[in-house]
Structures are given as structure tokens and as C-alpha cells.
Amino acid sequence: MTQKDQSDIISKYIEAYNHFDIDGMTGCLHEDVIFENISEGKTGLKTEGKEAFRAQAETAATYFSSRHQAVDHWTFSGESVTVSITYEAVLATDFPNGMKKGATLSLKGESEFTFSDGKIIRITDRS
């Protein structure tokens, strides 16, 4: 795959994410996709397979009334691409950590996307 192919797929995935378009997100994924969310060095969530990813994405979508990821920087390395992300979301529900519905969550992090057969086979989010 070319870097343009990779960036086009990642951009399509992020655009779908920002619009709560689960079908658009999963359309970019390999059937055997692995998703990991790592916060402060600890894996908080891991899914394996497109259906498990879809179930998690549908649940996560209910947590926010709006959300937006923006890519700040791209790093290409063969079949992997790491993007630096600025993330902002408005909570649709109270969170267990004390954040209340309507609060804005702002984070910086990175997402690593790995490709196989022209699709995303692994996503690792780090914040």
C-alpha cells in the first residue's frame, strides 16, 4: 500500500468516527482487527475481530453527544502509521470518574494503525 492509500483509509475511519458512523468505521477494518486502548501504560480495553469491535464502538457511541478526533501529525513506517491526535468530546452521560453529563473531555494521544490486505488490522490508541 502507498502512504496515500494508508492516509486515505485512516482519514475515512476518523471521519466516520467523528460522525458516529459505525458502518463507515468497520468498513475500513480487516475481519481479524485487534483494537487496544492503552491509558497511562495500562491496557483498559482490547477487542479481537470486527464484530467485537462493532459491539464496543456501538456502546462507546452512547457515552458522547459529540466527539472529534483531529490528526496533528502523521508518521509512516511500512505497514504501520502512527498519528498524533487531539481529541475532544462532550459527555452524554455521567462517568464513574466523576465527570458529569455535558462536560467536555479533551485529550492528546496517538493512534497506531497497522494494515493487512488493504484494511486496518490493528488499532492501538494511547493516551
- What is the overall mean pLDDT for the chain? 96
pTM recorded for the entire structure = 0.93
- pLDDT confidence of 81, banded at 50, 70, 90? very high
pLDDT in tens, 53-71: 999 999 999 999 999 999 9
C-alpha distance from residue 16 to each of 8, 26, 78, 109 (Å): 12, 9, 24, 19
